[in-house]
């Protein structure tokens, strides 16, 4: 595999409804796309969203990392296999996990195309189909009950609710969601909002009320692994680490200490599929189930996550509703979304044939 060209472009996709969390509101996706071409003419694609609050990356930093460091490490060199190509990326820059993830998935895309295999087959097989949960946007309880009823009527059976803004309002929202969806699996994500003791108290209250919460994501501050461990040991609701786990080293530390019951893998946090595979190996050793999640991403990087989830049985939960939140899909091929069902074709690589409306940056 010899990379002969790299192009960068912006992908914009409007959201159906503005996406609101306690921290921000946004009406569209605007992500960096990388296209690598090898000497055989195969085009590999990758995507990186700017998530300054999580990975510290902006569109400007992603472009600078790809153009100034990662691109030069890949261009014109002949790689005998993926290991060598992956080392070139990891040797070119530290941090910048989303920029590295985008370049890496473009390389995997080319590598799998050259093997004539869809990526999920290359990574271990599986069925090429799975189901995702859906996030009910944070709103007034009545609005959330309506949105929940709509999601259930559209076939979703697993709902994710962002909490952490205000304990009383959170409870009112969860009551509204639960009464609109008595049978649904409800998982909540506190995005670091609580102290450890507060988390245990609130989770006890939720379960005592019969809200039937399946799991809570990231109840405490990302760096507070002691606190995470305290909640895991004392809460009636299983705990999932999200912002606390970026790297495979983070994963092993959390698993060894039993600081969480589950972990949430995102390609943009861990730096790409290779580190995601390392985290999955650790999870298999420690018997920890994984969720695969995404940022606000379009169907390039989410397709990479779908391939991974299809290939690995340690990924038992799927939170990949990014493309389903967009009002149009500029990506041709890749993972196909219809309601909660996500399916892959047997097209080689990521399976993406083209992307409409890209704004090239060269």
Strands 341-343 and 315-319 turn out to be unpaired
State the nearest-atom distance from the C-beta of 320 to Mg ion, in Å: 13
Alpha-carbon distance 51 to 19, whole Å?
Answer: 14
Locate 162 and state its tokens.
């962002």
Q: Which stretch binds Mg ion (CB under 5 A): 33-41, 196-204, 239-247, 347-355?
A: 239-247
State the nearest-atom distance from the C-beta of 240 to Mg ion, in Å: 8
Residue 266 falls in the annotated catalytic set? yes
In angstroms, how far is the first alpha carbon of the chain from the final one? 24
38 near Mg ion (CB under 5 A): no
Residue 221 falls in the annotated catalytic set? no
Site for Mg ion (CB under 5 A): which residue of 47, 63, 109, 242?
242
Q: Which residue minimizes CB distance to Mg ion?
A: 242
* Binders in 179-238 for Mg ion, by CB under 5 A: 189, 217
Locate 305 and state its tokens.
């996550």
Minimum CB distance to Mg ion smaller for 160 or for 178:
160
Locate 261 and state its tokens.
């019951």
According to DSSP, the residues that pair with 56 across neighbouring strands are: none
Which residue of the set 160, 162, 269, 312 is catalytic?
A: 162
Minimum CB distance to Mg ion smaller for 61 or for 244:
244
State the nearest-atom distance from the C-beta of 305 to Mg ion, in Å: 14
Which residue of the set 160, 266, 269, 312 is catalytic?
A: 266
Minimum CB distance to Mg ion smaller for 189 or for 250:
189
State the nearest-atom distance from the C-beta of 284 to Mg ion, in Å: 22
Minimum CB distance to Mg ion smaller for 269 or for 307:
269
State the nearest-atom distance from the C-beta of 128 to Mg ion, in Å: 26
Alpha-carbon distance 306 to 345, whole Å?
Answer: 11
Minimum CB distance to Mg ion smaller for 8 or for 260:
260
Locate 202 and state its tokens.
């609130």
State the nearest-atom distance from the C-beta of 90 to Mg ion, in Å: 25
Number of residues that bind Mg ion (CB under 5 A): 3
Strands of 158-241, DSSP E:
158-162, 185-189, 213-217, 239-241
DSSP code for 137:
P
260's CB contacts (< 8 A; 6+ apart) are 228, 229, 232, 239, 240, 241, 244, 245, 254, 288
DSSP code for 133:
-
Strands 359-360 and 3-20 turn out to be antiparallel
Minimum CB distance to Mg ion smaller for 294 or for 304:
294
Contact 314, 283 (CB under 8 A): yes
CA distances from 295 to 36, 51, 94, 302, 322 (A): 23, 8, 21, 9, 7
The site for Mg ion (CB under 5 A) is made up of: 189, 217, 242
Q: Tell me which residues are annotated as active site.
A: 162, 266
């Amino acid at each position: 595999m010899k990379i002969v060209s790299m192009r960068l472009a912006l992908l914009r996709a409007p959201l159906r409804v503005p996406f609101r969390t306690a921290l921000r509101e946004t009406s569209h996706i605007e992500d960096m796309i990388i296209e690598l071409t090898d000497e055989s003419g195969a085009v590999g694609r990758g995507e990186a969203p700017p998530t300054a609050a999580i990975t510290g990356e902006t569109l400007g930093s992603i472009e600078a990392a790809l153009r100034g460091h990662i691109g030069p490490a890949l261009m014109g060199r002949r790689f005998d296999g993926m290991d060598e190509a992956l080392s070139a990326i990891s040797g070119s820059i530290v941090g910048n996990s989303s920029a590295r993830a985008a370049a890496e998935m473009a390389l995997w895309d080319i590598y799998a195309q050259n093997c004539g295999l869809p990526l999920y087959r290359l990574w271990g097989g599986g069925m090429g189909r799975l189901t995702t949960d859906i996030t009910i946007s944070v709103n007034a309880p009545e609005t959330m009950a309506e949105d929940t009823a709509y999601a259930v009527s559209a076939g979703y059976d697993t709902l994710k609710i962002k909490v952490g803004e205000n304990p009383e309002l959170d409870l009112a929202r969860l009551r509204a969601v639960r009464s609109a969806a008595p049978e649904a699996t409800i998982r909540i994500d506190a995005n670091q909002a609580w102290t450890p003791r507060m988390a245990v108290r609130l989770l006890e209250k939720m379960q005592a009320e019969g809200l039937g919460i399946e799991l809570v994501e990231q109840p405490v501050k990302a760096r507070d692994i002691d606190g995470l461990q305290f909640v895991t040991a004392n809460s009636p609701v299983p705990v999932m680490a999200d912002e606390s786990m970026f790297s495979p080293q983070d994963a092993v530390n959390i698993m060894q200490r039993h600081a969480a019951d589950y972990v949430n893998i995102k390609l943009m946090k861990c730096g790409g599929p290779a580190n995601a595979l390392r985290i999955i190996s650790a999870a298999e050793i420690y018997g920890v189930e994984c969720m695969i999640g995404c940022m606000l991403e379009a169907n390039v990087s989410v397709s990479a996550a779908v391939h991974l989830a299809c290939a690995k049985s340690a990924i038992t939960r799927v939170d990949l509703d990014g493309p389903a939140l967009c009002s149009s899909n500029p990506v041709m091929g890749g993972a196909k979304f219809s309601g909660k069902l996500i399916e892959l074709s047997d097209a080689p690589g990521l399976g993406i044939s083209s992307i409409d409306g890209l704004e090239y940056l060269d």
